[in-house]
Amino acid sequence: MFEARLTQSAILKKVLDAIKDLLTEATFECTDSGIQVQAMDNAHVSLVSMNLRSDGFDKYRCDRNLSMGMSIAVMSKILKCATTNDTVTMRAVDNPDTIEFMFDTPGKDVQAQYEMKLINMDQEHLGIPETVYSCVVKMPSQEFARIVRDLSQFGENITIACTKEGIKFSAAGDTGTANVKLAQTADSGESDSVTIEMQESVKLSFSCRYLNFFIKATPLCEQVQLSLSNDVPLVCEFNIGEIGHIKYYLAPKIED
């Protein structure tokens, strides 16, 4: 028996919004410690690693480890049927063909129940290599989203250059160039602070198309963490409230 309940479906709705444009289907690994998804997009250009800890749920029970292949599009459709204040319960038997989603509206005697067929998925065994990053930047997630949206108008790629002084985003195309520089702030730990931990300066270019997928996670938290090193994928990390995180990996563009 697997059962996981959140009193506010809002967080799960936001998680689905953060992955639905990147993943068509994914295996949800459910264990005693929580729910984990590690999946690549169809083009194998990016990887999404998501974790929801069992202690973050209002109720969590997982008697046997389960690997459930789910259609992200269908799951997203189902979660759109919940209002943000609904309690959501996910439930499955030990050898499931389906997963059940139940929505309870507080103060109302209404329960909605949706059953979704699981998918048999080819298991891609994916692992994330341990990496020491040259630069780790924490900045307001809304600021990052705005920069990605703004600069995407001017080119296919965004170049991120990070030094001790600050982080510079730039794009260039036929119509002109765009540059946005952020300096490190005096305060750290505030929602609007910019902090940079740097071993070595980096300058790397990334696809706007994918960065625009990643910023769909912006409503999940106030700060985003960018980890950069030469020749390894960028990590773009958002906390999922107090209960987990979502990390996106993307290889830098290389000169032909």
Partner 1 sequence: GKSQKNLLQYFKIN
CA distance 180 to 160: 10
Counting contacts by CB under 8 A, is residue 238 touching partner 1? no
Binding track, positions 47-76, relative to partner 1; x by CB under 8 A: x-----------------------------
Amino acid found at 43 = A
CB of 253 to partner 1, least distance (A): 4
Among 233, 244, 246, 247, binds partner 1 (CB under 8 A): 233
Counting contacts by CB under 8 A, is residue 108 touching partner 1? no
Counting contacts by CB under 8 A, is residue 227 touching partner 1? no
Q: Exposed, middle or buried, 213 (CB in 10 Å: 0-12/13-18/19+)?
A: buried
CB of 46 to partner 1, least distance (A): 7
CB of 40 to partner 1, least distance (A): 7
Give the sign of the dihedral formed by CA 131, CA 137, CA 141, CA 147.
Answer: negative
Report DSSP letters for 20-64, one per residue: TTT-SEEEEEEETTEEEEEEE-TTSSEEEEEEEEGGGSSEEEESS
Among 134, 141, 152, 157, binds partner 1 (CB under 8 A): 157
Counting contacts by CB under 8 A, is residue 251 touching partner 1? yes
Give the sign of the dihedral formed by CA 146, CA 221, CA 39, CA 131.
Answer: positive
Counting contacts by CB under 8 A, is residue 46 touching partner 1? yes
CB of 250 to partner 1, least distance (A): 8
